[in-house]
Structure 1
């Protein structure tokens, strides 16, 4: 079960960092930044890192995946924990087959696997027994986690689609 500190550290912090990378280093023409500008009229400064393109283009996806792998641990079903990885790799496969406007990038796949490695190294793949889950949670909380999990997955898919699939 995620503690509040782990939730902030493993879920929110990577999402905020990836969002900041998009806002500061990516083109204002990306859909994510257009949505940002619709809600926040002050245009963020556009910085360039030509020597570290991986930081701008690959790291945000890995951070999102890492965060949503941890959010996946909130699901009562342990099989759903790796759903974000399947979605991320599936989107890359769709891009490779040219079913979308996005561009396949093998570095994205590498960074996704690195995110999975970091998730596993921090104990995200550790199997909880039903008894351990019952000791740390109560039944009403488990019902709410299911709703939170569905919402988190919807947000994850929307962010990935807005940033990596539909580009101008």
Structure 2
């Protein structure tokens, strides 16, 4: 069983860093920012970086995917752990085809593949050939609810914007 400390550093911390980057540096027009600003009743700060735009536009997506990959490793389904990569690349493909808001960025694809390599290097796939982890029904429902929540946050923050 994975420890709470591992959960913190592999899942929650990257998500929090990505959220802070979105809130402080990304457009206030993203739905997640509109929700946060309305709930907190504050004006968006909109800080700007002159250099290192990849920190604002590419790193958050990589952090989301890193957290998703580790969170997926908690699942009974081994293929579910690869769902984050499929989602991330799928969103980029939808952006390339202009089916959704956002801009296709080959640097995003590169970051996603780099994150997958880091995940693998840190032992993220070590359980791939071993027995499936045993989970209780309650833990399985909690896992699914959290996974869906993470997906909704990513979609609201990275895909759709409103004018």
TM-score, shorter chain, exceeding 0.5: yes
Partner of 1:160: 154
Q: CA deviation at 1:118?
A: 1.6
Q: CA deviation at 1:144?
A: 2.9
Partner of 2:131: 130
Deviations 1:3-36 (A, max 9, x none): 1100001000000000000111112222221010
Distance 1:84 1:166 in 2: 18
- Structure 1 vs Structure 2 CA RMSD: 1.7
Distance 2:122 2:20 in 1: 24
Return 145-154 or 79-88, whichever deviates more: 145-154
Is contact 1:12-1:67 (8 Å) kept? yes
Partner of 2:144: 150
Gapped runs of 5+ residues in structure 2?
Answer: none
Distance 2:31 2:50 in 1: 21
2:51 aligned counterpart, secondary structure: helix
Is contact 1:88-1:112 (8 Å) kept? yes
The structure-2 alpha-carbon separation of the partners of 1:145 and 1:50, relative to structure 1 and needing over 3 Å to count, comes to farther
Mapping for residues 1-168 of structure 1, pairs under 5 Å: 1-127=1-127, 129-130=130-131, 133=133, 141-168=135-162
Is contact 1:75-1:149 (8 Å) kept? yes
Return 91-100 or 38-47, whichever deviates more: 38-47
Return 122-131 or 29-38, whichever deviates more: 122-131
TM-score (normalised: structure 1): 0.88
TM-score (normalised: structure 2): 0.90
The ranges of structure 1 where at least 4 consecutive aligned residues each deviate by more than 3 angstroms after the TM superposition are none
Gapped runs of 5+ residues in structure 1?
Answer: 135-140
